[in-house]
Every structure is written in structure tokens, then in C-alpha cells.
Structure 1
């Protein structure tokens, strides 16, 4: 049986506005700024936060992105950059220390402030990270290292502020830390029994479709467009 991790402190909250980005026709809110006051959390995320491409970012299943500050030493060593001086480098909304993909599980229910959240999925990194850092391999390194962070859906809206405690109040999938699920998705897994077990989890519709396609086709989907983007420079 898995052990529910101790509560952590929500060290920082970041929000951003969508603006034109690096490639023709692109838009992004990845350059988020810290807020010092309490924010309102609703079904679509944090009030005042935006997403540049709603086809793949945001919405109820990706309402809030949480990225562990625990990973920053890894990035500073392999991809040194001024953005890594503080949290927010990866476009995350929530930053904390103490929880990682090894301790947080799919569908964990989280209480923070007066809001109740649920871990909906891990992040599937995209090319906008490469352009943010001016490096060609940030998205692929995030994926291959398993240091993706995760998204929340909002079960109960409310308010949260920097300094609030974050507590896991329910563990729905005790055998499925996000690290394990990441291995299934990103290590080119085609083992049928593993895919079938994962497909029975309370996954988002997009991830259910991904696993279903692998089972039907016995092949892994292409990641080229997501990791390198259009008109890759």
C-alpha cells in the first residue's frame, strides 16, 4: 500500500496572459508571473490565468499545472539558464518542494486553501518549452526524465494563496504514482498487459484514446510535432 505524502507548502502561484509567441501564428502564456495575494480557483483554473492554445492547454482537465521546485537543480545542471533562478520557468501555476511524480499519484485528491483539486494527468511537454529556453531539447528532456509535473481538475472551487498548506486527502489509485504512468506513456511501452491495466485507470479522455490506439495499432504515436513544433527552427 502506498504512503500518502506529508503536506507541503504552496510556495508560489503564477499566472499569465496569452501573448504572441516565437513562431508565426503562435500564442502562449508560458511566461507567468508570481502573485502575492489569494487567487480564486474555478473549474477552468485560476482567475486571471490564460492559455495560448486552448486545443492543447487549459480547460477543465488541465485547469492548474503544478511543477515541483525539487526538479530545478536537475535543470540547472543540464540546461543552465537565467530563468531557473526562481520558480515559474516552465509555465507552472503552482510551485512547491516535497512532492514529485514519485509521491503524487493519478487521481489524488488535494486540498489547498478552500479549494479541492484532483490530479488529472501528467504533462505532455511541447516545443514551446524549447523556444522559451532557446534550446532544442528541453521538451524531450522533460519527457524522458519523467520530470513533467502534473495537472489538476477542480472538484470544488475556492481560494488559495502562497503559503497555504497542500494536503493529499484521498488516494484513489494507490498503485499508480505519476512516475509509473509516465513510464507507460513515454518509454514507448507496447506490452499489452501493461497498456490494458493502465487503460482501466480514471484517465482523461485524451489519454484513454492514446492507450486505445496503441492497443489497436500495436505502435507508439509520433511525438515529433508536439516536441519540435511547426516550422522547427
Structure 2
């Protein structure tokens, strides 16, 4: 498949003074892809966005019809970039992609590192107070890549899967364990020991195993009170 490549700069979110890099636009020029993402792509809050385990965000265009059914017509669903993604393509979804999958894109080599944990800034972007919660509840979250080999990437380059290190651990299974069957100890143990998964997710699973409790996600979904 050939993904659309998208980058964005920091700007205020609609109707606010809150800065974000979530607004991404299609690029028609080659880009350098380094360990922390495309050259020129920006994030406002580096505490929770960007970094080597979130170098690129991939969101499937396959989900647009389901979102139209759920929230109605919306201009952000008419083109790639509505969810803040860097790669937009059809043909790969969370039930067909696993943590640890390795892809070639141009001269770069990518590896799926974790699912996307939606942020409250999606609420402002879409003008819906519960959009982040809807994304989390639906499982239509997209995912992140880490960069195993940096390189030049150009529009028209094919995204090709070349290896699978943990094919049983699809992103759908990971989402279900973390957000639906949240205290399934066997699944949590599997996640905690999944070496190809980003360390933050593994720590969450380990804490649940030790505490027997689920953490409060509301600040991430609704914003600071």
C-alpha cells in the first residue's frame, strides 16, 4: 500500500489558545525520517507526544465510514490527517497489525511500538466533548511506529510489511486487554512481558497486576480540571 505522508506545525486548537501539533497536512515533498519522526513535524507537549516510541502515528482511512455513521458528516473525515496522523492508508487496521510488526517505507525501517492512547485535544479538534473517549471505546485508535533505520521517505513510497515478531499480539487484542477486559491477569502478564511493546504500556500492565486496580484515564481523555 502507498500511504499519504502528513506533517504539522504547532498552532492553537480551534476556539482556544491551547497549542497543539495535531493538525497535519499532506506533503508532496520527500522527507527525512529520523528516530523521532519526520523532519519538520512538531508536537506542542513533548511530555506525552512524540519521542522514539511515538515517532510516527498511523491512522487507517478504513475507519472513516464508521466515524461518519457515529458522529455524522464532518470535514475532518473527508481527508487524511483528521486524527493527527503522519501516515494514512487503507488496507491495514488494528485487527491486522500486531505489535512488533516491521515495515519498510522508502529508505526507512519502522516497527509497530504501541497503540494510540487518544488525548483530550481530539475533543477540541472535532468540536465534540467526548471524541477522545469515543476513539478509545471504539478501538479505532491507530498506532505508533518506532524507527529502526532512519532514511528518506517520499510520497508514492510503498509501505511493506517484512517481518512479524509477535503476530498473536494484534493491536485489537492489546486494546481489548487494556480497555475492555482490563483485569484479565493472563493478558496483563503477557503484555508486561512483551518485549517489542513500548515500555510505558508494559509498566501499565505490570502495575495492574500488582495492584489489582485500573488507573484513572479521565485526565488524558477530558483534559486537566
TM-score by length of 2: 0.95
Alpha-carbon distance, 1:67 to partner? 0.3
Q: Secondary structure at the match of 1:9?
A: coil
Q: Is the 8 A contact 1:39 1:46 kept in 2?
A: yes
Q: Which ranges in structure 1 are unaligned for 5 or more consecutive residues?
A: 1-7
Matched, 1:31 2:23: yes
Task: Give the 5 Å matches for 1:67-146.
Answer: 67-79=59-71, 80-146=73-139
Aligned positions, number? 223
What value does the CA root-mean-square deviation take over the aligned residues?
1.4
Aligned to 2:165: 172
> Structure 2 unaligned runs (5+)?
none
Any idea what SS the aligned residue of 1:212 has? helix
How far apart, in 1, do the equivalents of 2:63 and 2:57 lie?
Answer: 15
Contact 2:61 2:88 in 1 (8 A): yes
Partner of 1:190: 183
Cα deviation 1:79-111 (Å, max 9, x = unaligned): 231111111101100000000001111010110
**TM-score, length-scaled by structure 1:** 0.92
**SS of residue paired to 2:5:** strand
Rounded to whole Å, the distance in 2 between the matches of 1:97 and 1:161 is 18
Equivalent-residue separation in structure 1 for 2:100 and 2:18 (angstroms): 32
- Compute the displacement of 1:19 (Å): 2.2
Q: Which runs of 4+ in 1 moved over 3 A?
A: 20-26
CA distance in 1, matches of 2:181, 2:219: 16
- Do the aligned partners of 1:38 and 1:159 also contact (CA within 8 Å) in 2? yes
The answer on whether the counterparts of 2:13 and 2:125 sit within 8 Å (CA) in structure 1 is no
SS in 1 for 2:48: coil
- C-alpha deviations, 1:46-90, integer Å up to 9, x for none? 000000110000000000000000001111121231111111101
* Alpha-carbon separation, structure 1, partners of 2:203 and 2:19: 26
User: In the alignment, which of 143, 148, 160 is matched to residue 155 of structure 1?
Assistant: 148
